[in-house]
Amino acid sequence: MTTSAPGSRIPAVLVLEDGRTFRGRAYGAVGATFGEAVFSTGMTGYQETLTDPSYHRQVVVMTAPHVGNTGVNDEDPESARIWVSGYVVRDPARVPSNWRSRRSLDEELRKQGVVGISGVDTRALTRHLRERGAMRVGIFSGNALPDEGTMLAEVRQAPEMAGADLSAEVATEEAYVVPAIGEKRFTVAAIDLGIKGMTPHRMAERGIEVHVLPATATAEDVYAVAPDGVFFSNGPGDPATADHPVAVMREVLSRRTPLFGICFGNQILGRALGFGTYKLKYGHRGINQPVQDRTTGKVEITAHNHGFAVDAPLDGPAETPYGRVEVSHVCLNDDVVEGLRLLDRPAFSVQYHPEAAAGPHDAAYLFDRFVSLMEGQRA
Amino acid sequence: MPKRSDIQSVLVIGSGPIVIGQAAEFDYSGTQACRVLKSEGLRVILVNSNPATIMTDPEIADATYVEPITPEFVEKIIAKERPDALLPTLGGQTALNTAISLHEAGTLEKYGVELIGANVEAIHKGEDRDQFKTVVEAVNARLGHGESARSVICHTMDEVLAGVEALGGYPVVVRPSFTMGGAGSGFAHDEEELRRIAGQGLALSPTTEVLLEESILGWKEYELELMRDKNDNVVVVCSIENFDPMGVHTGDSITVAPAMTLTDREYQVLRDIGIEVIREVGVDTGGCNIQFAVNPEDGRVIVIEMNPRVSRSSALASKATGFPIAKIAARLAVGYTLDEIPNDITEQTPASFEPTLDYVVVKAPRFAFEKFPAADATLTTTMKSVGEAMAIGRNFTEALQKALRSLEKKGSSFDFVSEPGDKAALLEKAAVPTDGRINTVMAAIRAGATQEEVFAATRIDPWFVDQLFLIHEIAEELRGAAELEPGLLAEAKRHGFSDAQIAAIRGLSEEVVREVRHALGVRPVYKTVDTCAAEFAAKTPYFYSSYDEESEVAPREKPAVIILGSGPNRIGQGIEFDYSCVHASFALSEAGFETVMVNCNPETVSTDYDTSDRLYFEPLTLEDVLEIVHAEQQAGPVAGVVVQLGGQTPLGLAQALKDNGVPIVGTSPEAIDLAEERGAFGRVLTEAGLPAPKYGTAFSFEEAKAIAAEIGYPVMVRPSYVLGGRGMEIVYDEPSLAGYLERHAGLISEHPVLVDRFLDDAIEIDVDALYDGHELYLGGVMEHIEEAGIHSGDSACALPPITLGGFDIKRLRSSTEAIAKGVGVRGLINIQFAMAGDILYVLEANPRASRTVPFTSKATAVPLAKAAARISLGATIAELRAEGLLPAEGDGGTLPMDAPISVKEAVMPWTRFRDPSGRGVDTVLGPEMRSTGEVMGIDNVFGTAYAKSQAGAYGALPTKGRAFVSVANRDKRAMIFPARELAAQGFELLATSGTAEVLKRNGINATVVRKQSEGPGPNGERTIVQLIHDGEVDLIINTPYGTGGRLDGYEIRTAAVARAVPCLTTVQALAAAVQGIDALTRDEVGVRSLQEHAEQLTAARRA
């Protein structure tokens, strides 16, 4: 059939760990893959999503039916490779159209060996995940597929996301520097737990020289770059396993160095302060989430990608070993903690993505807040 | 922060009559707003001259003024009601312009009325092109993105000519300031075009201002819908991408939501610009719409314009996303913030989010060029479409094909069967945007065009072009397949192919394809529009079909009634039918049924998810309706399907639905057929002893010729089974008859031609009535102001009838009852009579809701459509009287003596159309309906009511100045009295020599002016046309001549349109106008709400 992307003749099956299956066609590479099934509701930004290291070991279901329309360019990836372990779409583009497009998404997925499936009822799948929660999944494609029982058994053998320590798998092995754009004003040590390319860029735009350090970096490594501030990035996996970064962060907090965390970094701050973290039923993944800044009452539309959240009290500041902390931001859809702010030390974090790639730029002011903290520390 | 406590009453201004560029979408938004404000405990005062709207239903607002939307009348309402605030952003450009006038005249200040929703400064910044350029510059300074097309503002023709030089030559775009729907704008490729377009633009612009702009033809076009609250929270509700590139008005483009061909980076740039624009303009409690052009070569973004108000696009965006922009705008205007307003659909999440779609929405425009054969059908930046259909699918191909079949127009769906034609010729044709260009592109693809060739010719984005290729490939696969196997059939359905299309390709009948499909289990599922791509559970059953896996239709207990809507607005089938469908839904819901609405028109109240218990946003074709009925029968008991209220569209499906076992409630399809079929209907009339004009039914020219010869010319000819007089003409001789049959060969291929005696000089009467099988309720009797022969939809009429006596009403009642009984009506019937001499002829009977139902209901304060819906499901008139839905005693034929008089006037779209050489189209009324909308004037006496109707439709009648009179010979006698009256009112009469002579002989002074054909006089005396163009004529009376001479007054009438001078084309209208002018002169014109009128009527009925 000539009706969709190359390879579409090849059958594919998506098998959820609770036994529900969806049949479709192979998309991208042909083979088998496993991961945690999550859905993302963004209508734009598939390139950024695919290359976001936080999606490591996740099979991403796109709720937007048409994917690949603008092809793949060389400017928009958030890291050097695609991280999703599998990709589920309804209607892949046959012809990409954009003046920046270099190649088709299908081609890119195949080149990078990413197994996907197309032509499935992604809405039914999304509703299933919404009702039953994120769960393990397998995608199997090829002309000789195993029987359903075998596929299901394989899915159930795949590792779970809860308890997974994945930062080291996605982070840089070597430290590197992102130079400030224009005049350099500050130095920041950024712990890479799965950092997205846009994050150091947003800092660089503000005159920050960013020293991106591996996930395994110690407090000594951090202070070796003489930072004005320390940043903890986003990243995949269960924050409950992130004992090493929690320990490093506590050191930073004790030294009162300005600190900013995003996503995984927010969960680490939560843990460093003594709060627990927990797994959301199906997470927040999209670029339309309303978050309220509780200090100003303003609502910002934000990009989210998190399956875990911090368990902190919403009804007023809490005492911690590092002084008082308040929940600074909440998601208005479900009251999930979306940001923490220390009242007695220069530290704050957000659960969502102010670097916004993909997503709205409403929360870019948080990078300015980080700059203000560093300025305050100097003064 | 809760709502403001300092506002207790709000005046909402509606948008008036339906015109091109401003249609039913403002009824949808206005109704939402009024309901919200009322539920907030505010006293809502509404003004709207359009009786066919839901918003003017007496229960929607506290005080409803069906009065002209002019600063003068609105001031009277303000003086009487003393509202605290005025909300002008929900009634289109009309409301906004009126509010600005009231502000500028100091009226708002005088009465202490606060403008809410948008402030004057913001309105000016958004609407004034010069100021908006400054806005865009300021935004660019902050973001480094977004610019205006290079342009110059001009106030004179000299400035226009100099402007082109400054922009570097042709082509240029001309845009007049402050006109709605882009009226008067266009592309000028040379000086001649420039002079014409800019000249007209300067005249149309209330500020005599046009903008000349660099051409960005062929760029990608996008729109964003934004909302902002007083805390500066901003959300983008929807992105829309135009399938047709820049150069076609967005109202005339096929549009797609969400945007399909933007990366996130590019989308976020548009979003950032949009947010900064709304901030800079200062819309602080409401919505706006911003249009962008993006250069496909390098992404350069031009901000084209913004509307600081709810717009047609915001109605579309609301339906496309489930985010009710108008409703939320109204809440924001009274002080709420977005995060305080819940999302209706999820109930759990707030409105301060951005909807995300897991489906594709396609809107396609509906044109009416067939009604204006002289008009230029090229699409430009002036909107020309009269309606639109929207469709939702799980992918673009499905949504597109559903949208095209929703247009319900021959040839609107892709044709894969007939010979496509020559590739080169098709590509050349496709290069010019016209109605149906997408079908031409498909034909070019079938003829072998490559994707590159299609893009080169049309500049349609390659992704969209490929989607058309995809559709074509599936069609080819269907054609080539050995058999219709399940995989292929399912694939075709997933890409939106209808059973009819598949049947045509396979050489089968639609029924056979359907049977095969059902046997193979290939059926659609129904998905929910939920604003959030299933992230949260939806509480509102707003469905669309898709060939996918899982259906979301929930089981139910109560019996359901499925109401079929009227589809896209078109001339002859518009908002009036939506009104009846909505009323049926309300009434049946109250009577304990679960109401299920089916419609595909995004402009309407019926497609508001709040209107019915369930909404299916689906095409109104047999296939789509059968599938919905099936889905609902699976979900629970179905009491039946209502087909009588949505006009010809559902009516046309009635028999086929019944044949497929679907229960039709109310008047049976057989009875409907009986009324449409002339022979059978003739027998009903004969049995009842009622005369009809002589007629005959012809299947060929020979038959038509024989019938016409027997009846005697002139005759009225038309195809059967059409609405709005489509193809109806008065024919004066045999050669014209032959010509007619040739021209309409397409229309009459399926149905025979009706040939009727044309009753010259008869009074036409419309009757709306209810019949339950035993009792007749005469809803209302309307006397037309224009004589028979002018389509009832285009004719003004008065209710109660102004010249008919008790005896006439009695005859009308007994005739109506006899017909209703003979036909077998259970519900509404509309009958058109003609009174010629003393004989009452029956012209036609339609056993369904008519266009006049809302007018009749409002004029008599009785909800006829609600009653009809109840009767359809078994209630009797006696029961409804007992319930109070109908008056306990009496009916529309027995209105009390002091009942108010209501006048309905039609609104014509003349100003919208030009012929290819740029001249206006003729304005003469005829048997083919061409009006787009209507207004109502209501007052205690006819003259005042008529004056109000004119003020509402065209602008106030003049009370002094110069009146030009030129009438056909047959009208000369009837003209004398009104002309004398005009002179007595102080008008200077101008007349051409023949008419002047008649006037003088009757002792009426008239100044002779030169005919256009005579040309200017030896001393430069101007012709009448020049005088009109020079603005020296205030009123024109020009009745067309009979046979052959119908074009004589053409230039006079088109000049009148161009200069917006009131132009009366019948002598009856002149008589009415004189009474109106008399009332105006004596300054007896007051305002009174429908509620007050109703109170008076009810009291009088009790007395």
Same domain, B885 and B961: no
Same domain, A316 and A208: yes
- pLDDT in the model for residue A5: 45
- pLDDT in the model for residue B182: 66
**Cis ω on the peptide bond leading into residue A96 (within 30° of 0)?**
no
Q: Look up the domain containing A261 and give its range.
A: 167-378
Same domain, A151 and A178: no
Same domain, A317 and A201: yes
- Domain boundary, last residue among A137, A157, A177: A157
- pLDDT in the model for residue B31: 96
The answer, yes or no, to whether residue A8 has pLDDT greater than 70, is: no
- The per-residue pLDDT for range B456-478, each reduced to its tens digit, is 999 999 999 999 999 999 999 99
Q: Phi and psi (nearest 5°) for B596?
A: -125, 115
- A303: tokens are 């990009």
Could you report how far apart the first and last alpha carbons of chain A are, in Å?
68
Lowest mean pLDDT among A111-125, B305-319, B854-868: B305-319
Residue A99 within a domain = yes
The answer, yes or no, to whether residue B703 has pLDDT greater than 60, is: yes
Domain count, chain B: 7
Taking an 8 Å cut-off on Cβ atoms, the answer to whether B296 and A292 are in contact is no
Nearest Cα residue to A357 out of A238, A202, A156 = A202
pLDDT confidence band for B438 (50 / 70 / 90): very high
- Domain boundary, last residue among A126, A157, A188: A157
Complete DSSP assignment for A228-253: SEEEE---SS-GGG-HHHHHHHHHHH
pLDDT confidence band for B721 (50 / 70 / 90): low
pLDDT confidence band for A3 (50 / 70 / 90): very low
- Domain boundary, last residue among B72, B98, B118: B118
Q: Give the CATH number, domain containing residue B746.
A: 3.30.1490.20
Same domain, A198 and A228: yes
- pLDDT in the model for residue A7: 45
Distance of CA B267 to the CA centre of its chain: 32
Taking an 8 Å cut-off on Cβ atoms, the answer to whether A70 and B233 are in contact is no
Q: Which of B338, B461, B466 sits opposite A299 (nearest CB)?
A: B338
Same domain, A189 and A331: yes
Same domain, A138 and A43: yes
What is chain B's alpha carbon radius of gyration, rounded to the nearest angstrom?
28
Q: Phi and psi (nearest 5°) for B201?
A: -60, -40
Same domain, B514 and B571: no
Lowest mean pLDDT among A206-210, A281-285, B102-106, B186-190: B186-190
Q: Give the CATH number, domain containing residue B1055.
A: 3.40.50.1380
Residue B313 within a domain = yes
The answer, yes or no, to whether residue B1 has pLDDT greater than 60, is: no
Residue ranges at the known binding site of A for L-glutamine: 54, 235, 237, 264, 267, 305, 307-308
Give the separation between CA B1086 and CA B1078, rounded to whole angstroms: 14
Residue A256 within a domain = yes
Same domain, B536 and B657: yes
Q: Give the CATH number, domain containing residue B62.
A: 3.40.50.20
- The per-residue pLDDT for range B760-775, each reduced to its tens digit, is 778 899 999 999 999 9
- pLDDT in the model for residue A94: 94
DSSP A3: S
Taking an 8 Å cut-off on Cβ atoms, the answer to whether B348 and A289 are in contact is no
Please compute the mean of the pLDDT values over residues A71-94 and round it to a whole number: 97
The answer, yes or no, to whether residue A377 has pLDDT greater than 90, is: no
Residue A4 within a domain = no
- pLDDT in the model for residue B750: 67
The answer, yes or no, to whether residue B1045 has pLDDT greater than 50, is: no
Nearby residues of A197 by Cβ (< 8 Å), 6 or more positions away:
A77, A78, A79, A357
- A215: tokens are 């996930």
Give the separation between CA A189 and CA A204, rounded to whole angstroms: 12
Lowest mean pLDDT among A235-239, B308-312, B715-719: B715-719
- pLDDT in the model for residue B566: 95
The answer, yes or no, to whether residue A106 has pLDDT greater than 50, is: yes
Same domain, B147 and B285: yes
Q: B158 CA to chain A: closest CA distance, Å? A: 40
The answer, yes or no, to whether residue B349 has pLDDT greater than 80, is: yes
Instruction: State percent of chain B over pLDDT 90.
Output: 67
Same domain, B156 and B302: yes
pLDDT confidence band for A6 (50 / 70 / 90): very low
- B903: tokens are 């006048």
Residue B227 within a domain = yes
Residue B2 within a domain = no
Taking an 8 Å cut-off on Cβ atoms, the answer to whether B268 and A120 are in contact is no
Same domain, B19 and B98: yes
Domain count, chain A: 2
Same domain, B236 and B297: yes
Which chain A residue's Cα is nearest to B528?
Answer: A123
The answer, yes or no, to whether residue B1047 has pLDDT greater than 60, is: no
- pLDDT in the model for residue B837: 82
Q: Which residues of A touch B356 (CB under 8 A)?
A: 41-43, 63-64, 286-288
- Give me the sheet containing B729-731, strands edge to edge: B695-698, B753-757, B715-719, B729-731
Same domain, B535 and B589: yes
Helices (H), B661-805: 669-676, 678-688, 701-711, 734-743, 745-748
Please compute the mean of the pLDDT values over residues A278-305 and round it to a whole number: 96
Residue B787 within a domain = yes
- The per-residue pLDDT for range A172-211, each reduced to its tens digit, is 999 999 999 999 999 999 999 999 999 999 999 999 999 9
B351 and B323 in contact (C-beta within 8 Å)?
Answer: yes
Please compute the mean of the pLDDT values over residues B148-177 and round it to a whole number: 89
Measured N-to-C along each axis, helices B129-143 and B120-127 cross at an angle, to the nearest 10 degrees, of: 90
Please compute the mean of the pLDDT values over residues B135-162 and round it to a whole number: 93
Q: A127 CA to chain B: closest CA distance, Å? A: 6
CA distances from residue B803 to A97, B34, B782, B783, B835 in whole angstroms, order as listed: 67, 38, 11, 8, 11
Burial class (CB in 10 A: 0-12, 13-18, 19+), B770: buried
Q: Which residues of B touch A95 (CB under 8 A)?
A: 451, 462-463, 465-466
Taking an 8 Å cut-off on Cβ atoms, the answer to whether B356 and A94 are in contact is no
The answer, yes or no, to whether residue B955 has pLDDT greater than 90, is: no
Give the separation between CA B707 and CA B697, rounded to whole angstroms: 8
Please provide the size of chain A in residues.
379
Same domain, B369 and B479: yes
Q: Give the CATH number, domain containing residue A243.
A: 3.40.50.880
For residue A58, list its beta bridge partners.
A36
Nearest Cα residue to B321 out of B359, B285, B268 = B359
- The per-residue pLDDT for range B378-419, each reduced to its tens digit, is 998 889 999 999 999 999 999 999 999 999 999 999 999 999
Residue A121 within a domain = yes
- pLDDT in the model for residue B741: 83
Give the separation between CA B1074 and CA B959, rounded to whole angstroms: 10
- B142: tokens are 């902050």
- The per-residue pLDDT for range B647-673, each reduced to its tens digit, is 989 999 999 999 999 999 999 999 988
Q: Residue B390 is inside which H or E element, if any?
A: strand B387-393
What is chain A's alpha carbon radius of gyration, rounded to the nearest angstrom?
21
The answer, yes or no, to whether residue B321 has pLDDT greater than 50, is: yes
How many cross-chain Cβ pairs, A to B, lie less than 8 Å apart? 179
- A333: tokens are 């859809």
Same domain, A148 and A181: no
Look up tokens 């590479």; give the residue.
Answer: A29
- The per-residue pLDDT for range B960-1000, each reduced to its tens digit, is 999 999 888 878 888 899 999 999 999 999 998 888 999 99
Give the separation between CA B915 and CA B569, rounded to whole angstroms: 23
Same domain, B754 and B766: no
Same domain, A91 and A201: no
Give the separation between CA B315 and CA B601, rounded to whole angstroms: 11
Report the half-sphere exposure of B474 (CA within 13 A, side-chain side).
26
The answer, yes or no, to whether residue B860 has pLDDT greater than 60, is: yes
Q: Residue B877 is inside which H or E element, if any?
A: helix B877-883
- The per-residue pLDDT for range B477-499, each reduced to its tens digit, is 999 999 999 999 999 999 999 99
B379 and B582 in contact (C-beta within 8 Å)?
Answer: no
Burial class (CB in 10 A: 0-12, 13-18, 19+), A157: exposed
Could you report how far apart the first and last alpha carbons of chain B are, in Å?
50
ipTM for the complex shown: 0.97
In this structure, the strands spanning A86-88 and A115-118 are parallel
Residue A1 within a domain = no
- Domain boundary, last residue among A136, A157, A178: A157
- pLDDT in the model for residue B371: 83
- Domain boundary, last residue among B89, B118, B147: B118
Complete DSSP assignment for A290-304: EEEETTT--EEEEEE
Same domain, A174 and A148: no
Residue A3 within a domain = no
Please compute the mean of the pLDDT values over residues B1021-1041 and round it to a whole number: 86
Taking an 8 Å cut-off on Cβ atoms, the answer to whether A290 and B534 are in contact is no
- pLDDT in the model for residue B716: 84
- pLDDT in the model for residue B725: 64
Taking an 8 Å cut-off on Cβ atoms, the answer to whether A301 and B296 are in contact is no
Distance of CA B987 to the CA centre of its chain: 36
**Cis ω on the peptide bond leading into residue B171 (within 30° of 0)?**
yes
- Kindly report the average pLDDT of chain A as a whole number: 95
Q: Give the CATH number, domain containing residue A40.
A: 3.50.30.20
Residue A162 within a domain = no
- B877: tokens are 């008139």
Q: Look up the domain containing B489 and give its range.
A: 362-519
- pLDDT in the model for residue B1048: 53
- Domain boundary, last residue among B118, B147, B171: B118
Same domain, A76 and A210: no
- pLDDT in the model for residue B727: 74
- pLDDT in the model for residue B1025: 86
Three-class DSSP category at B971:
helix
Give the separation between CA B38 and CA B331, rounded to whole angstroms: 11
Which of B269, B358, B464 to mutate to test binding with chain A, by most A CBs within 10 Å of its CB? B358
Nearest Cα residue to B380 out of B435, B454, B300, B304 = B435
Q: Phi and psi (nearest 5°) for A223?
A: -75, -15
Which chain B residue's Cα is nearest to A72?
Answer: B263
Give the separation between CA B115 and CA B119, rounded to whole angstroms: 6
pLDDT confidence band for B724 (50 / 70 / 90): low
Same domain, B194 and B333: yes
Same domain, B471 and B340: no
A16 and B506 in contact (C-beta within 8 Å)?
Answer: no
Give the separation between CA B137 and CA B278, rounded to whole angstroms: 13
Three-class DSSP category at B768:
strand
Which of A70, A108, A122, A353 to mutate to test binding with chain B, by most B CBs within 10 Å of its CB? A70
Same domain, A237 and A100: no
Same domain, A105 and A204: no
Residue B143 within a domain = yes
- The per-residue pLDDT for range A160-183, each reduced to its tens digit, is 988 989 999 999 999 999 999 999
CA distances from residue A308 to A162, A234, A265, A337 in whole angstroms, order as listed: 9, 12, 12, 10
- List active site positions of A: 263, 353, 355
Q: Which residue has the higher pLDDT, B312 or B875?
A: B875
Which of A52, A98, A284 to mutate to test binding with chain B, by most B CBs within 10 Å of its CB? A98
Look up tokens 């498909």; give the residue.
Answer: B442
